[in-house]
C-alpha cells in the first residue's frame, strides 16, 4: 500500500487497496486511513454499483436524498449529472452534505463515471483545523451555541440542474446543531457550520449572528485548510462528512470544461445526532 498526501491539511491518494473487497479487514484499514486523512482518493477502481453499495454498508445504514431520486435499480445511489452545456453543478459552494438533517451524513463515497477533460475538480477543507485556528474571541462567543441549518427546499437541488430529477418532496425544513461538535470516533472538536446551509445562531439577534457567521465562513475558506482532487474516470473519493467541507468547482468555460458531461455516483452513509 502507498499513501501520498495531497496537502498539509488533509487528503491522501491511496494505492494498493482494492475497493471491490468489502471485507471487515479491508474496511477497517480504509476507515482508519479516513479518520487520519479525512478524505481518501483511489484511482482506477472500476467497481460495480453493487460493489460500491457493499463497501458503503460497512460504514453504516445507507441514506436516501430527501429531494432527489436515486437510480431505478439501485435507489441508494444518487447519480449526479452535469449536462454538457450546463455551467453549474451540484455542491458548487462550500458545504457539509445535508447538515440540515437531524442525523447528517457520516461518510460519502463518490465514484466518477464520466468527467470533462478539464474542470470540475473537488476541494476539501479540514474543519478540525478550522476550529483549532479560530479567533479566541469568536470561540468564546459560540461556546455552547447552536445554529439553524436549512434544507433550502427542492428547488436548490433540482431547478438549476437539468439532468437531476426530484422525488416529489418540495418542503423546506431545518434542524439545530451545535456550532462546535465532537467527532464521535476521534473526539476532536469540529467547527460545524457552513455557508450553504447554516442560517442563524440561536439566542443571538440577527445582526450579531450574521456578523459572526460571516467571519466564520471567511475563516473556513482559507486555502491552507484545503486539498484539491483532480478527477479521472473510475476514481473514488471517500470522505468523513463530519469533519470536512467540500466544494465542486464550476470552472466550466467555453473551450475548456464546457461542452462535456460530468457524471458521478454518490452513496451517503447515515450519521448520528451531532453532539
pLDDT at residue number 256 = 86
63 strand-pairing partners: 268
Query: Does 47 score more than 90 pLDDT?
Result: yes
Tell me how far apart the alpha carbons of residues 235 and 28 are, in angstroms, rounded to a whole number: 20
Give the list of residues 6+ apart from residue 115 with CB closer than 8 angstroms, or none.
231, 232, 233, 260, 262, 263
What does 107-162 look like in DSSP terms, one character per residue?
EEEEEEEE--SS---EEEEEHHHHHHTS-HHHHHHHTT-EEEEE---THHHHTT-T
Strands of the sheet with 122-126, listed across from one edge: 226-229, 122-126, 244-248
**DSSP structure class, residue 212:** H
Do residues 265 and 113 lie in contact, with contact meaning Cβ atoms separated by under 8 Å? Answer: yes
**In the chain, % of residues over pLDDT 90:** 92
Tens digit of each residue's pLDDT (9 = 90 or more) over 228-259: 999 999 999 999 999 999 999 999 999 888 99
pLDDT at residue number 257 = 85
pLDDT at residue number 105 = 98
pLDDT at residue number 162 = 87
Give the DSSP H or E segment for 62: strand 62-63
All cell numbers assigned to 122:
473537488
Tens digit of each residue's pLDDT (9 = 90 or more) over 158-209: 988 888 899 999 999 999 999 999 999 999 999 999 999 999 999 999 999 9
Do residues 59 and 242 lie in contact, with contact meaning Cβ atoms separated by under 8 Å? Answer: no
DSSP, collapsed to helix, strand or coil, labels residue 37 as helix
Mean pLDDT of all residues belonging to the chain: 96
The CA dihedral of 268, 272, 273, 275, to the nearest 10 degrees, is -120
> Length of the chain in residues, anyone?
275
* Residues 48-54, mean pLDDT to the nearest whole number: 98
Give the list of residues 6+ apart from residue 61 with CB closer than 8 angstroms, or none.
269, 270
pLDDT at residue number 101 = 96
All cell numbers assigned to 18:
482494492
Do residues 103 and 270 lie in contact, with contact meaning Cβ atoms separated by under 8 Å? Answer: yes
Rounded to the nearest 5°, which phi and psi values hold at 183?
-65, 125
* CATH numbers and ranges of domains, the chain: 2-269 (3.60.130.10)
pTM: 0.97
Tell me how far apart the alpha carbons of residues 79 and 73 are, in angstroms, rounded to a whole number: 12
Amino acid at each position: 500500500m502507498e499513501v501520498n498526501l495531497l496537502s498539509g491539511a488533509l487528503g491522501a491518494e491511496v494505492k494498493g487497496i482494492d475497493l471491490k473487497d468489502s471485507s471487515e479487514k479491508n474496511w477497517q484499514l480504509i476507515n482508519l486511513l479516513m479518520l487520519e486523512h479525512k478524505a481518501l482518493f483511489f484511482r482506477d477502481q472500476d467497481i460495480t454499483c453493487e460493489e460500491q453499495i457493499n463497501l458503503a454498508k460497512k460504514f453504516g445504514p445507507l441514506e436516501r436524498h430527501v429531494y432527489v431520486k436515486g437510480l431505478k435499480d439501485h435507489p441508494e445511489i444518487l447519480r449526479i449529472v452535469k449536462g454538457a452545456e450546463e455551467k453549474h453543478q451540484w455542491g458548487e459552494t462550500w458545504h457539509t452534505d445535508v447538515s440540515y438533517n437531524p442525523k447528517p451524513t457520516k461518510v460519502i463515497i463518490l465514484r466518477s463515471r464520466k468527467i470533462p477533460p478539464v474542470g470540475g475538480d473537488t476541494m476539501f477543507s479540514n474543519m478540525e483545523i478550522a476550529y483549532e485556528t479560530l479567533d479566541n474571541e469568536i470561540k468564546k462567543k459560540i461556546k455552547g451555541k447552536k445554529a439553524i441549518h436549512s434544507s433550502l427546499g427542492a428547488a436548490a437541488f433540482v431547478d438549476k440542474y437539468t439532468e437531476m430529477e426530484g422525488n416529489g418532496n418540495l418542503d423546506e425544513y431545518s434542524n439545530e446543531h451545535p456550532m462546535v461538535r465532537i467527532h464521535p470516533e476521534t473526539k476532536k472538536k469540529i467547527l460545524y457550520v457552513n455557508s450553504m446551509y447554516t442560517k442563524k445562531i440561536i439566542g443571538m439577534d440577527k445582526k450579531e449572528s450574521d456578523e459572526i457567521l460571516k467571519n466564520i465562513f471567511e475563516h473556513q475558506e482559507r486555502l491552507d485548510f484545503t486539498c484539491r482532487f483532480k478527477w479521472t474516470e473510475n476514481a473514488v473519493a471517500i470522505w468523513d462528512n463530519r469533519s470536512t467541507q467540500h466544494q465542486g468547482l464550476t470552472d466550466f468555460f467555453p473551450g475548456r470544461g464546457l461542452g462535456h458531461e460530468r457524471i458521478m455516483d454518490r452513496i451517503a452513509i447515515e450519521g448520528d445526532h451531532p453532539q
